[in-house]
Chain A
């Protein structure tokens, strides 16, 4: 009689979703400013691994690429190692290593076995490199045709859909300004926004708390005061919650609402974060008098957020914790 319990089989299906690529994060402004600090893993031909400049401790520094390691070893031993300028094929790396060869995927094992080039590959394995591109002589673009009666030339077509006055300002600044507005007084909100950005520019650079990590790709704190809009964006995006909890009545039974985590869009996330920050700012004490008091408090709260001192972080963590707990309530149907 076979055992009724099969230990090796998985009792139920595990919902596994691969992590989304990092490039999903949409604020390109931050990424553009510090490409070297982005989360993306570097390619084999890049000069330095991402964390090289961060750590002074030699042991903490990441290992170099396999080819670079081999090159270094070869240099120490006085031999000629692999060329680092080019990527090393997998076949070469595992050439002497029997154990590694056994663990290779089947496709590569097959390709190693049939080592003779067949020349009938259905796909291309050659990669373009920027150096190769440079070698190609580009022809100068043809001069634009001279048009009589047009002073500034024709615009490049197609005109982007957001190339009009409704999208004139930075989206974050515009959204925060509108959230600052009370009683429909936009001009006062705009003045407050200007005062907030001025405060961010004139206050000393923030000291980052490592326990409260900002979004990856954030520039060093010394760069922030000179780019107050980035400072504002960073503060808001760092504390923005990823989800909200929707209470669905009657779904749990017994009069208890079922709490269901719902993912938020970018604008929704920012909106929630700004509302939390504004709530925290209204609870601060007004030190001065006159018109700019509220703006001052909001700006101080933003600095506190970046420094990790703000109470908004606790709110965010609470929501995320609740979201993790309520994950069981999700009913993901298979399609």
Chain B
């Protein structure tokens, strides 16, 4: 039955082809089946189209409605800050709080009382002229709490007395002695402040003070650099940085350098008037950045002539210059920090490769809060401490760490100065100073001192300050 039905289907007339599309396509009699008889379908199609358009969401980029207006974002029409203004506000050093009380009986540190036993463990004020000089060499940091007190004052702790002894030794040796130290210690243990104290005493003793305020600024690639012509292993000068350093030296050491005159005839690309003072020389370098490095060398040569005052040369953040810098050489290799001339100069004096003929102190402080990874420095500190303790077996280098041989060599013969926590008496002294300034609203008694001393990790002065005066809970 089914077969007969199939046969019947095959016998369909060609007029019915349109009903079977598969057949229609194959049909040789191709005629159009699009032509329509009536107009109704076309009208219906139009209506359908209209309806669908109305249902669509408003088209992008066209104004469909009065309510859908594009809003122009509100523009800030206020005055723009001048270039560098916001950074200046961030880096501003405030050294006085007019609300704080003047501490009665606060004496100034002076050349006469610097070494005395009476100032040990006492809080001493900084004289105004020294404060100006310290500000010029950027010894104050924004993270330190100077802005809370009426005027800058320092605690003469045990390590400060040690620095005072160093200064005494150098002066006693009459230029035969150079003391080189790396200040190490926990975070917020007062390393940068100890450098500041050393600079303070040097200013009081009328030494020449050269301070590199932050080693990080030298190596992060924020100042321009150029290869130094004629250097065998290519050295790189940082002209703007050196010029800035020279201006700082001139400003901070005016009292000392204005008394000293040129004794040699420096070979410089610009003419220097004969018998010019060293301040003039430094100012000349500050004014002409392109010759700042030769002028710095000339100034250094002058300072190392006989019968010149001792020099204190200090840096903060030593770890940064014990690794590769962010600068690149011409063949796109990172430049080692020791290939930057100013760093090279400091490292030569820290390692003892170059001497200070008139004596002096070379100080380098490590950093705790902004510590870069420098395995060479860490290892050198371990070795130096083990040696100082007189241990028989010194620590050995971990062979799985890549060794920075230049850094290791430069730190081979340097002694460390470890900053420990304050003693309870020192903690009590500084807390009494806080209370007398009106910043600590508590009775300073034995219980409270002991409490805070313990909470600050055994007298870590930064933590002590944070716990007592900075209201940092």
Which residues does A use to contact B, with CB under 8 Å?
A: 168-169, 173, 177, 190-191, 193-194, 197-198, 201-205, 225-229, 285, 287-290
Q: Report the interface size class on chain B.
A: 20 to 34
Are A202 and B99 touching (Cβ within 8 A)? yes
- A-B contact list, 14 entries, CB within 8 Å: A173-B473, A193-B471, A193-B473, A194-B471, A194-B472, A198-B148, A201-B99, A201-B148, A202-B99, A203-B99, A205-B99, A226-B99, A229-B471, A288-B89
- Within the complex, the shortest CB–CB distance from B140 to chain A, in Å, comes to 15
Are A190 and B99 touching (Cβ within 8 A)? no
- Within the complex, the shortest CB–CB distance from B126 to chain A, in Å, comes to 19
Are A202 and B441 touching (Cβ within 8 A)? no
Which B108-158 residues have C-beta < 8 A from chain A?
Answer: 147-148
Among the listed B78, B87, B90, B97, which residue makes an inter-chain contact with A202, where contact means beta carbons less than 8 Å apart?
Answer: B97
Are A288 and B147 touching (Cβ within 8 A)? no
User: Which residues on A sit within 8 Å (CB–CB) of B99?
Assistant: 201-205, 225-226
Which residues does B use to contact A, with CB under 8 Å?
A: 78, 81, 86-87, 89-90, 94, 97-100, 147-148, 438-439, 441, 470-473
Q: How distant is the Cα of A288 from the Cα of B90 in the complex, in angstroms? A: 6
User: Which residues on A sit within 8 Å (CB–CB) of B473?
Assistant: 168-169, 173, 177, 190, 193-194
Q: How distant is the Cα of A130 from the Cα of B166 in the complex, in angstroms? A: 64
Are B86 and A197 touching (Cβ within 8 A)? no
Are B98 and A289 touching (Cβ within 8 A)? no
- Within the complex, the shortest CB–CB distance from A158 to chain B, in Å, comes to 23
Q: Which residue of chain A lies nearest to B98 when distances are taken between CB atoms in the complex?
A: A204
User: Which residues on A sit within 8 Å (CB–CB) of B471?
Assistant: 193-194, 197-198, 228-229
Q: Would you call the interface of chain B mostly helix, strand, loop, or mixed?
A: loop
Q: Which residue of chain B lies nearest to A152 when distances are taken between CB atoms in the complex?
A: B447
User: Which residues on A sit within 8 Å (CB–CB) of B441?
Assistant: 226-227
Q: How distant is the Cα of A287 from the Cα of B85 in the complex, in angstroms? A: 9
User: Which residues on A sit within 8 Å (CB–CB) of B439?
Assistant: 201
Number of A-B residue pairs at CB separation under 8 A: 51
User: Which residues on B sit within 8 Å (CB–CB) of A177?
Assistant: 473
Are B97 and A288 touching (Cβ within 8 A)? no
The 7 closest A-B pairs by CB, nearest first: A288-B89, A225-B99, A289-B86, A194-B472, A290-B90, A197-B471, A226-B438
Q: How distant is the Cα of A173 from the Cα of B471 in the complex, in angstroms? A: 10
Q: How distant is the Cα of A55 from the Cα of B373 in the complex, in angstroms? A: 66
User: Which residues on B sit within 8 Å (CB–CB) of A289?
Assistant: 86-87, 89-90
Q: How distant is the Cα of A28 from the Cα of B89 in the complex, in angstroms? A: 38
Are A287 and B89 touching (Cβ within 8 A)? yes
Q: Which residue of chain A lies nearest to B88 when distances are taken between CB atoms in the complex?
A: A288
Q: How distant is the Cα of A177 from the Cα of B89 in the complex, in angstroms? A: 25
Q: How distant is the Cα of A178 from the Cα of B282 in the complex, in angstroms? A: 53
Given A201-B439, A204-B98, is A288 in contact with B86 using a C-beta cutoff of 8 Å? yes
- Within the complex, the shortest CB–CB distance from A119 to chain B, in Å, comes to 52
Kindly list 16 other residue pairs between chains A and B, CB separation below 8 angstroms, not including A202-B97, A289-B90. A168-B473, A173-B473, A194-B470, A194-B472, A198-B147, A198-B148, A198-B471, A201-B439, A202-B147, A204-B98, A204-B99, A205-B99, A226-B441, A227-B441, A285-B78, A288-B89
Q: Which residue of chain B lies nearest to A222 when distances are taken between CB atoms in the complex?
A: B99
Q: How distant is the Cα of A229 from the Cα of B78 in the complex, in angstroms? A: 33
Q: How distant is the Cα of A194 from the Cα of B89 in the complex, in angstroms? A: 18
Q: Which residue of chain A lies nearest to B438 when distances are taken between CB atoms in the complex?
A: A226
User: Which residues on B sit within 8 Å (CB–CB) of A205?
Assistant: 99
Are B472 and A202 touching (Cβ within 8 A)? no
Given A169-B473, A191-B472, A194-B470, is A201 in contact with B90 using a C-beta cutoff of 8 Å? no
Q: How distant is the Cα of A226 from the Cα of B470 in the complex, in angstroms? A: 13
